[in-house]
Amino acid sequence: VTTVFALSLPATVATVIFAARCNLAGRFGAPAAIRQAPRAAVAGALLLGGGALALRAAAAYTIAAFAAAALTLALALRIGGAAARPAAAARPASAAVKRRGGAAILLTLGALAGLWLETAFAARQGVGAVAMLDFGQRLGALAGNTLAGALGLVAFADLSRHAAEGRPGDLGPRFG
């Protein structure tokens, strides 16, 4: 199973590179959707069940990883040098930026306090309770972390495009 998964590494790396090219060109949706194909293939293999389930899931992932690499390569080549630029974001007001920053800090502190309380409670529940809590928290945070990563990707692509075009003066008002 590990060997079959290892076969998918070159395709996975290629998919990330081709998707990064698409992201820098302002195309985010299609590369993000294509990168889910290997996960969907594993889910399909697991749903079918049967003997040698792990091997079938690994094979499905590997085949889908190569398909995803081919699709993102085709998308990156189609984009070429004439990339569509996303529309400029509206300039946020200074007071709104301060409110958003304050809300982010408050939410972070609240999440940390909740995490500490949950961990303290789990520590009193016996062997394995903290590990189970950690696993549950990771599953619960998966969707939010994925969204945060996607939003960060879009913002950093915009930042790098402005810096590469020699317009660093635009960066402060857009993101500050």
Residue 82 has pLDDT above 60, yes or no: no
**CA distance linking residue 25 with residue 80, whole number of Å:** 9
* pLDDT tens-digit series, residues 101-127: 777 787 777 777 777 777 887 788 888
* Residue 171: band (very low, low, confident or very high) from pLDDT cuts 50, 70, 90: low
Instruction: Give 82-143 as a 3 state SS string.
Output: CCCCCCCCCCCCHHHHHHHHHHHHHHHHHHHHHHHHHHHHHHCCCCCHHHHHHHHHHHHHHH
* Residue 87: band (very low, low, confident or very high) from pLDDT cuts 50, 70, 90: very low
Q: What percent of the chain has pLDDT over 90?
A: 0
* Average pLDDT of the chain to the nearest whole number: 75
**CA distance linking residue 11 with residue 83, whole number of Å:** 24
CA 18 to chain centre: 15
Is pLDDT larger for residue 1 or for residue 39?
Answer: 39
* pLDDT tens-digit series, residues 37-61: 887 887 777 777 766 777 777 788 8
Query: Per-residue pLDDT averaged across 61-65, rounded?
Result: 83
What pLDDT does residue 88 have? 46
Residue closest to 122 by CA, chosen among 131, 135, 109:
131
Residue 4 has pLDDT above 80, yes or no: no
Q: Which run of H or E residues covers position 38?
A: helix 37-48
* pLDDT tens-digit series, residues 123-146: 888 888 888 888 777 776 776 677
Is pLDDT larger for residue 88 or for residue 141?
Answer: 141
Asked if 61 contacts 8 with a C-beta cutoff of 8 angstroms, the reply is yes
Residue for token digits 């982010």?
A: 104
